[in-house]
Structure 1
Amino acid sequence: MKSPFSFTRRAFVKNSAMAITSLPLASTFANNIGQKTTLPPTGIVPLNWLDKQKSALFTGTTWGVPWAKGQIKKGTDFTLTSNNKAIPTQTWPLAFWPDGSLKWTAHAVSSHENLSDNLQISIGKSIKPKQALSVQESETSIKIDTGKIQCEINKSGQTIIKTLSNNGQVVAQNGKLVLSVQDNVDQSESFKIESFEGKINKISVEQSGEIRAVIKIEGSHENTANKKLLPFIIRLYFYAETESIRIIHTIIYDGDENKDFVKGLGIRFSVPLKEALYDRHIRFVGENKGIFAESVQGLTGLRRDAGRTALDAQLAGKSVTQIPENVLKNIKYIPAFGDYTLFQSTPDAFEIQKRTKNGHSWLQSAFGGRANGTGYLGTPKGGLAFGIRNFWQSHPAQLDIKNAHTDLGEITMWLWAPKSSAMDLRVYHDGMGQDTYAKQLDALDITYEDYEPEFGRPFGVARTSELQIWALAETPSKALLLDISEQIQHPPLIVASSEYLSKVGIFGSGFALSDKSSPKKTEIENQLDFYFDYYKKQIDQQKWYGFWNFGDVMHTYDHDRHVWRYDVGGFAWDNSELSTDLWLWYYFLKTGRNDVFRMAEAMTRHTGEVDVHHIGRFSPLGSRHNVQHWGCSAKQLRISTAANRRFYYYLTADERVGDLMREQVNADKTLRNIVPGRKIGQIAAENTATSELASISFGTDWGALSSAWFTEWERTENPKIKEKLLNSMRTIAEQPHGFFTGGAIMDLSTGKFQLENPTKISVSHLSAAFGLAEICAELIETVDMPIFEKAWLQYCQLYNGTAEEQKAAMGEALSKLNLQQGHAKLTAFAAKRNKNSVLAQRAWKEFYAGEGGIKKPSMQIKKIEPPIVLNPIEEGVSISTNAVAQWSLAAMQCLAFVGKDLD
């Protein structure tokens, strides 16, 4: 059988392959590179608020804590203290070390009067909450009681939340998902709009504790003709003694993008309204703490004065008890405005309109820039506050209040605003005649876009949004509504201190605390800070926002047009290319900065959902960088890799991101049908009578697979996953040339690679650029397999070795390798494991040489003003996202592994 890794000469050049022989390396290495200093006393971890202090209105949070190998036994109880006062805490395991000890634990805490600062988690029995959360399940519904609100969730049908009450008073009901789909977007032709509602297919209680409960609902949107579109996954989060429900909302696009144009996508509730029209209140939170506050039937500005008492009560959202007779007798002639809408059309513009009812004109009520995306409908006897997180960032978004003049008002949180144009996900060009691989490679050569017919479809991509609803006992004050809005937009999070994270040894120990103890270290640290701050500003200056875009950054800059290359093939959206995600997460671990966490969080949500196909023929592969996130025909594991998701999952215990990583466990099967190197000579492996086989590269393919398998093993202790992972590690190491073999045929049932021909050598500059280095470092810390460590350190030491070293060790020298600066981190890792100061100096030499990266890092900024550009911008000198990500990862890991050798 012909090897699936037999390449053409063109592919040979592209991958910089060169025949070599293997070099035995020393087998004695340091044990755990992560243990830099003494850990805190066993089982005690200092914690911080991510935003330095908890919000004024705190309703609960969940976070993760790592533990050193062998330190904490399975089943250990923990307690949270704040200023030495115990706080009720719910705990569960997230991951285990191979010896069964706890590696990561998750902890949940709810509102508590003693919760403030000076936090720490430690071994000990947690105290009980005053009012434990209750979950009761029947054949038809699930009832949740937090002690303040009661929620009944249906197990079937199209109404998800049957009722939501505050201490027995129903404030909302008939909670459902709504979808509008338009069949055409060509303005020269007529179109029709179909309405769908979410239908429950499956519901489960994922967690039921005294402090935290999670309900998972799965289904699809259906219309009256039983047509199904957009599968959904909804999670509802409840915390004890709180009035709010957190909603994580995921949709997967499964339509025909040429005729299924989403016109509106949202969540709708009905709100009972029994009070007088003048006691019904509407609120929207705009920007800069501005609030739009009105009543359905206003008493201000009338020809007849309603009196100070009545006016003050109405303006404050209180019950109006005194109305003069000369107002009351004609009050029926005061128009009742029942419908309101807040529409965020762009990241910088929103408008508020209102009307009396359907069939009558809308009045322009207010305008603004960036609305906070929070609203309220109710009376002094109670109502519903609601909001969408990252509202203006995820435009077009919309909040609707309707029928507030009737006994049953309605609110809709639109994730895609129906007032905007319909969602158009079609491929942005017609293929331009690229009907053969040869033509597609030629096009790749000019625009860097890897096109293939039918590969640029959005089928299977997803979008996850976060919302909150609050069942309130009365109309909130403006101060309280602002606190609610702040809680929705910046949910409080507890994190282990950066000092502890740097000591415990996590994620391959590829980071160290910021250190400016010497000029050289200061220079690197300042440059790291500059690069992050620059991209943070670019997101806002370039308006990298929108429902499908928020969280990503652009790939390459166009200095001639003074724009990022948003419209040039593979130079547009970055899609995790060269580990942008990893850069942000390691930088957060290093600094503990809340703005870094928020940017990395948004990127994780985006790249894990939008850039990956979750159903269909490409599932669960991701798409390479492109003008459209799903547009590239290179469907690859290097984009969908669990390596990019692990940070957020372990720091927050987020169940949806846990789903995304689990999707990747069987991704090897997809590589049988979607062969990554099909255009340059790679062919699918031929199955045998007893085995299903696939050709898997040891770089971007296995790096992603090993991340998924390793994560699943440590999360579940699944022995089959463990065996598959260890088999793959061992059989890579047993190859005649180890990692320099490039790839081999894997038995998908066992994870074992077949031995390749000793003459077959392949080395690619991309192999270690997508998380392979980081996962190998963590595997070596975790798994005692000397043969694997030897193979990996061989790769680390020789990739950037001199021609003389390579020839002396392997018989021939390597040539034409790229990204040498990025690979300095591999040299540094080998130096640390070997305790080799000469190798450490070489790592720094490679880093400063800047080959294949940034030779002269700069913090120079050019300000470009109109009319040269449309809007004023700041332009960096010699900044490319790929280069910045690789420079930053190399800088952080060199500092962590061989920082003492820098000076």
Structure 2
Amino acid sequence: MELLSLKTMYQTPHITMKKNKLLPVWILSIILTNFNIGFAENPNKRANINWLDQSAPSHFSGTTFGVPWERGLIEPDLTFKLMSDEHTSLDVQTWPFAFWPDGSVKWTAVAVSPHDHLPESLKLIEDLNPIYKNSLKVIEDKKSITIKTGIVEVTINKSGSNIFESISREGVISAKNGHLVVLHQNTPELSPEFAVVTTHFTGQIKDVLLEQDGPIRSVVKLSGIHQSDNNTQLMPFSVRLYFYAGSENIRIMHSITYDGDEEKDFIRGIGVRFDVPMHNAQMHDRHIRFSGENDGIFAEAVKGLTGLRRDPGPEIISAQLEGRMTPAVEEFPERVRRGLPYIPTFGDYTLFQSSANAFRIRKRTAPGHAWLNAGNGSRSSGAGFVGSPLGGVGFGIRNFWQSYPAQIDIRKANTDNAQVTLWLWAPESDPMDLRFYHDGMGMDTYEKQWEGLEIIYEDYEPGFGRPIGVARTSELDLWVPGKTPPREKFASYAASVAKPPILIADLQHIHDAGVFGGLWTVKDSSDTDPIRNQVTDKLDWLFDYYKKSVDMHNWYGFWDYGDFMHTYDYDRHVWRYDVGGYAWDNSELATDIWLWYYFLHSGRADAFRMAEAMTRHTGEVDVHHIGSFAPLGSRHNVLHWGCSAKQLRISTVANRRYYYYLTADERVGDLMDAQIEAHRSLHDVPPLRKRVDVDLSDPSKVLLSFGTDWGSIVSAWLTDWERNKNKASYNRIRNGMKSIAAQPQGFFTGVGMMDVESGAFEISESDQIVVSHLNAVFGLVEIVAELIDLIDIPEFEEAWLQYCKLYNASDEEQYAVLGTVSRNRGLRQGHSRLTAYASMKKSDKELALRAWEEFILNDAERSLKIPKTVEIKSLYSLNPIIEAPDISTNYAAQWGLAAMQILRLIDVNKNAVK
């Protein structure tokens, strides 16, 4: 008989017992469980799952990841299990979080709980009857939410200042009174003219939502604002707390938005603070831990027993060094016992990361006494612990050194309750100064501003360079081990803070599912074709060059980490950090998408984490989340928010989708939701206001380009439709596609007035063309590939293929079709992927050859050659650096995307070159 799935057996009436009685489901389940009877499953309904870092972690507190599926394959109610090759099952919770047009599941989110023995390789397969070894318990009332993981119990308040009231393990309180703090200063620097006044703000909860209540994963979202004693309010916050069944950890996602006056409101500290009961442990049994670089650990007791004039003995010393309970004081040698009151107790400790390359540890006995330097180093991984063998809490800040200045304070460890503050902006650093970097230099008219743009590439306009509404998200972790952890265990925890373990579906599975437009290939290490290998070698080189540049040029810091610089200055041997629009890149020419495509191509963990950091940065810092510019992004500038060009192409969901779908991250989901109506903002902040007169009389209409603007907003609608099945977004997409196709020159019409509700463009009465070299290079290529795959509008596809074919075509070819010729067709190499796409869709070999020639610029040896690098040493550079001629971030992003799409869309081999 043909083998059937269990679900099919449940639903098939002809499978019966004797006397024509249907076999009860619960009996069948027992039979299958106890006799290990298996049934054939659909092999397509499974996915190989890998650890991002290629090996199982030693400390794992749970994670969530996304798995895509081919269209029409997975029903929305289908659940899954995660199995090892040894048939060990891990507890998982799954749910669909994106859908294909036919209603089948496009992406499944998988939440995984901790497991004693983590396998190296895993498979996600369908599971009709999930059974959990551990499950969460959630109790909610009017005042609080209590979550029990099976190991820890956390009570979360719905009002007031304490985000969590208490965290307990086995009935013992490990932490309490968890709240947010901000320190405000009235002046950025010491001055005889002004007295420095520091004001303390505490987070006040306004809204609490139990966002997810599942057996394996629960999420609580809290929103509010920081408030001072005199009821002044500053900096809205959003905090998510993540819980996994059987976990000792609580993950914290902390987001703040700047809403102050940058001329008056200088932030001295941003932190999360809580108390840790010390449970009457002896002072010499109270332990402090800080992580240094790699596996380095600072480990001391509040009252040290080593190095004394009188030796306590190896048993006592080893117990203290290892964090175990020491013998009773009565068993101490008499001279040591008598001398205990005279050994100093150190109650206060600070780990301060002042730069990307320097941290220090200090301690003191109590306020009013001198600090002692206790340790120094380069890059701390940002983890700590305070407690005793009776209990305690570990804690960590992810990207601690990368996002300097950061700080961890432990105070009053020699009292009944130690106090821990995890500072995301360190009070020991200078205050945060977000003022604009120049006075405007007289650029008070559009004409003068255009002259400024001509000389330093900076689009300045008074009042537009303010930081109102920029945001920052940080990740923190709390760990409740129940006692002072062994050093090896603490080192593993610190490593997990710095690099949280991540699971990823097999890259070929992701590719074969047909998501993200499918415009890339998974790197094949066995490929022997020399041309393809030249392309992939240069792809690797480009990524590595930028990875090294991040470190060489210190692209780190609270507001900067995750971004690249735009263009290099070969005269000074630095990136142009101080030259207008040549400084921070701010997603220019789809840098984010290049990194994500490169990860999907290579599978490299370092590529994932670099793309992740960029997604966090560009979605938060480069976008105004509140205020008159919200929710638009800012074009590249010396300051991330400094440019007066507030544009959809920077805030675009096209840059966020990859990370969201690979991780199911709720914060990025919030950022994408905020973009659904972003096009309305262009009525008040028109992108072309300095060059053309824009009619703003009708608020129901906005002027959008078909490229950078519509391509950006349609990515928000597409994602909303996929995630939420929003019919309104679907209709807007269709109306836009149809009205672009109906233009006299299709995509070459270039710009139009769009109805803000329907998404339809007015049909132009002119056959003029408006072409910009930027139209297609901010994610339009990748988004349109998805639209054509998902929505059948032949006339739109034809209009897009016409644009793809003609953009790089000869003047004669353009004139023959359009009756005119475009003079603004830069980035020819980057646009080779449009030609390649047209060749693939039309099965046109001549177009394929033309695409290849455009990509190599008619010189394969020069175009595919790895650039030579030059080492610049002292006298000409502050530090030794490596630089490569002619490499800019625009080039890297567009060459990288073109290379990966050329590899996918045409047959790149010797014959193609010929």
Q: Which TM-score band applies after superposition, normalised by the shorter structure?
A: over 0.9
2:227/2:233 contact within 8 Å kept? yes
1:64/1:107 contact within 8 Å kept? yes
2:702/2:755 contact within 8 Å kept? yes
Aligned partner (choices 482, 485, 488) of residue 479 of structure 1:
488
- The residue aligned with 1:612 is 623
1:200 correspondence with 2:205 = yes
Residue type matched to 1:829 in 2?
Y
Report the Cα offset of residue 302 of structure 1. Answer: 2.0
Report the Cα offset of residue 493 of structure 1. Answer: 1.0
- The residue aligned with 2:237 is 232
1: CA distance between counterparts of 2:175 and 2:823?
68
SS at match of 1:589: helix
Report the Cα offset of residue 190 of structure 1. Answer: 2.1
SS at match of 1:778: helix
- The residue aligned with 2:183 is 180
2: CA distance between counterparts of 1:80 and 1:363?
50
Report the Cα offset of residue 850 of structure 1. Answer: 7.3
2:79/2:130 contact within 8 Å kept? no
Residue type matched to 1:66 in 2?
P
2:257/2:472 contact within 8 Å kept? yes
2: CA distance between counterparts of 1:306 and 1:855?
71
1:218/1:233 contact within 8 Å kept? yes
Residue type matched to 1:489 in 2?
A
- The residue aligned with 2:880 is 872
1: CA distance between counterparts of 2:766 and 2:439?
45
SS at match of 2:268: strand
Aligned partner (choices 141, 166, 170) of residue 138 of structure 1:
141
1: CA distance between counterparts of 2:261 and 2:55?
47
1:27-426 to structure 2, matched below 5 A, reads 41-83=43-85, 84-113=87-116, 115-125=118-128, 127-188=130-191, 189-273=194-278, 274-321=280-327, 322-426=331-435
Residue type matched to 2:166 in 1?
T
1:715 correspondence with 2:737 = no
1:559 correspondence with 2:570 = yes
SS at match of 1:394: coil
- The higher relative CO (CA closer than 8 Å, separation ≥ 6) is in 1
2: CA distance between counterparts of 1:106 and 1:357?
49
- The residue aligned with 1:6 is none
Give CA-to-partner distance per residue, 1:89-143, whole Å, 9 cap, x none: 1001110011100011100111123531231112223532222111111110000
Change (3 A) 1:498 1:137: same
1: CA distance between counterparts of 2:104 and 2:479?
39
- The residue aligned with 1:638 is 649
Report the Cα offset of residue 502 of structure 1. Answer: 2.3
1:797 correspondence with 2:799 = no
Structure 2, gaps ≥5 residues long: 1-40
1:58/1:487 contact within 8 Å kept? yes
1:339/1:403 contact within 8 Å kept? yes
Give CA-to-partner distance per residue, 1:402-459, whole Å, 9 cap, x none: 0011101101110000000000000000000000000000000000000000100001
2:206/2:223 contact within 8 Å kept? yes
Residue type matched to 2:244 in 1?
Y
- The residue aligned with 1:829 is 837
2:534/2:865 contact within 8 Å kept? no
1: CA distance between counterparts of 2:765 and 2:810?
26
SS at match of 2:677: helix
2: CA distance between counterparts of 1:115 and 1:206?
28
1:436 correspondence with 2:445 = yes
2: CA distance between counterparts of 1:337 and 1:150?
30
1:394/1:547 contact within 8 Å kept? yes
Change (3 A) 1:162 1:850: farther
Residue type matched to 2:623 in 1?
V
2:831/2:898 contact within 8 Å kept? yes
Give CA-to-partner distance per residue, 1:498-549, whole Å, 9 cap, x none: 2222222111111012254322111111100000000001111111100000
Aligned partner (choices 717, 732, 749) of residue 724 of structure 1:
732
1:705 correspondence with 2:713 = yes
1: CA distance between counterparts of 2:606 and 2:189?
41
1: CA distance between counterparts of 2:210 and 2:558?
29
Report the Cα offset of residue 148 of structure 1. Answer: 0.5
Aligned partner (choices 528, 537, 541) of residue 526 of structure 1:
537
Residue type matched to 2:746 in 1?
G
2:135/2:149 contact within 8 Å kept? yes
Residue type matched to 1:294 in 2?
E
SS at match of 1:257: coil
Give CA-to-partner distance per residue, 1:280-338, whole Å, 9 cap, x none: 11111111311111111111222222222221111111111132232223322211110
1:824/1:843 contact within 8 Å kept? yes
2:80/2:130 contact within 8 Å kept? no
Residue type matched to 2:232 in 1?
K
Change (3 A) 1:581 1:857: farther
Residue type matched to 2:196 in 1?
F
SS at match of 2:480: strand
How many residues align? The count is 860
Residue type matched to 1:379 in 2?
S
SS at match of 2:673: helix
1:821/1:850 contact within 8 Å kept? no
1: CA distance between counterparts of 2:473 and 2:419?
24
- The residue aligned with 2:816 is 808
SS at match of 2:542: helix
Residue type matched to 1:301 in 2?
G
2: CA distance between counterparts of 1:850 and 1:646?
35
2: CA distance between counterparts of 1:775 and 1:42?
26
Residue type matched to 2:183 in 1?
S
Bigger shift: 427-436 or 875-884? 875-884
Runs of 4+ in 1 over 6 A off after TM superposition: none
What TM-score, normalized to structure 1?
0.94
1: CA distance between counterparts of 2:67 and 2:593?
19
- The residue aligned with 2:9 is none
SS at match of 1:899: coil
Change (3 A) 1:65 1:850: farther
- The residue aligned with 2:547 is 536
1: CA distance between counterparts of 2:129 and 2:47?
15
SS at match of 1:393: coil
1: CA distance between counterparts of 2:353 and 2:662?
31
2:182/2:270 contact within 8 Å kept? yes
2: CA distance between counterparts of 1:518 and 1:568?
43
1: CA distance between counterparts of 2:288 and 2:495?
18
2: CA distance between counterparts of 1:597 and 1:629?
23
Report the Cα offset of residue 806 of structure 1. Answer: 1.2
1:447 correspondence with 2:456 = yes
2:312/2:332 contact within 8 Å kept? yes
What TM-score, normalized to structure 2?
0.93
2: CA distance between counterparts of 1:74 and 1:397?
44
Aligned partner (choices 548, 552, 562) of residue 559 of structure 2:
548
- The residue aligned with 1:819 is 827
Residue type matched to 2:724 in 1?
T
2: CA distance between counterparts of 1:465 and 1:347?
17
